[in-house]
């Protein structure tokens, strides 16, 4: 019997998501989720993967407004995969995705190694907001030739966006593994539907049991609440900063936005990404403001 929803922690909270899918002991859940998202069936299914655990899940990272809690894994055939949950639109999702995808791809070999050793890299973004001007809830991107849309240059890099508001509008099919997992992750799912998923899918049952254990653990709940507070405060900072920026001249507004963010201890690279200011300019502003 699943938890009553008053006690069930939000699975899309990135800290809880990592505890459900980003640890070695939860590898079975991660593999099942990846197979569902990547639509892998039969002999093409991921049979095994190494979970790259985040060893820095300290309070400092939980409270960090710029902290990124993602789930990483590498399959037996050397494909590296990153999953990130984003609950609010920070107006930078496309570039943020390309940045981390490229960084992972480049870092998959050491200096001097052959380019053939570069690992295929897949990044998956589970979004609680609409991003793309497309109707479909699950969009996948590769490198295709502009005039020959059936010709793919390479499959070495792959991007997935899953947009929850669009998924909520489609007719649900519990016989579709991806539908089952996305329903499981929805904190608003009615209890009778959750019970149906548990009966149908033994891996979801196992994952829900872990969520039940996490929900009953006092330290986990404390860190969960801290992460939720950090997320809300960060969104408030960004929203407030953008409002102030619109009231003032663009350049002056950007500088004031940057100063407000620096005072809130946001990282310089994150501020540069949000405001469009150069890192060197932000370093100068920080020095002049005595921060």
Which parts of the chain fold into alpha helices (H)?
Answer: 14-21, 27-37, 59-63, 93-106, 164-167, 177-185, 191-200, 202-215, 218-247, 250-263, 268-275, 279-288
Distance CA 11, CA 271 (A): 28
Predicted TM-score of the model (pTM): 0.78
Q: What is the mean pLDDT of residues 260-283?
A: 84
Query: Which tens digits make up the pLDDT trace of 167-184?
Result: 999 999 999 999 999 999
Distance CA 52, CA 281 (A): 35
Distance CA 50, CA 46 (A): 11
Please report the pLDDT score of residue 4 as a whole number: 46
Tokens of 287: 């020095």
Please report the pLDDT score of residue 291 as a whole number: 74
Query: Which tens digits make up the pLDDT trace of 138-156?
Result: 999 999 999 998 999 999 9
């Amino acid at each position: 019997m699943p938890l009553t929803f008053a006690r069930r922690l939000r699975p899309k909270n990135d800290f809880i998501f990592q505890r459900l899918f980003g640890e070695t002991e939860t590898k079975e859940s991660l593999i099942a989720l990846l197979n569902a998202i990547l639509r892998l069936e039969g002999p093409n299914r991921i049979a095994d993967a190494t979970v790259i655990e985040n060893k820095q899940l300290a309070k400092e990272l939980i409270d960090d407004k710029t902290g990124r809690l993602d789930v990483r894994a590498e399959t037996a055939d050397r494909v590296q995969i990153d999953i990130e949950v984003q609950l609010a639109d920070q107006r930078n999702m496309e570039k943020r995705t390309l940045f981390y995808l490229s960084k992972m791809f480049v870092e998959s070999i050491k200096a001097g190694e052959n380019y053939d050793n570069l690992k295929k890299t897949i990044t998956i973004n589970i979004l609680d907001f609409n991003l793309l001007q497309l109707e479909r809830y699950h969009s996948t991107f590769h490198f295709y030739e502009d005039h020959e849309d059936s010709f793919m240059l390479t499959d070495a890099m792959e991007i997935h966006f899953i947009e929850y508001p669009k998924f909520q509008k489609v007719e649900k099919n519990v016989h579709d593994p991806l539908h089952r997992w996305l329903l499981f992750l929805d904190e608003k799912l009615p209890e009778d539907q959750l019970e149906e998923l548990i009966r149908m899918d033994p891996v979801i049952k196992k994952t829900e049991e872990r969520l039940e254990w996490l929900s009953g653990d006092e330290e986990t709940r404390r860190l969960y609440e801290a992460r939720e507070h950090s997320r809300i405060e960060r969104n408030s900072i960004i929203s407030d900063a953008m409002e102030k920026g619109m009231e003032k001249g663009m350049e002056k507004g950007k500088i004031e936005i940057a100063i407000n963010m620096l005072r809130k201890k946001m990282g310089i690279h994150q501020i540069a990404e949000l405001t469009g200011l150069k890192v060197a300019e932000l370093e100068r502003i920080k020095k002049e403001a005595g921060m």
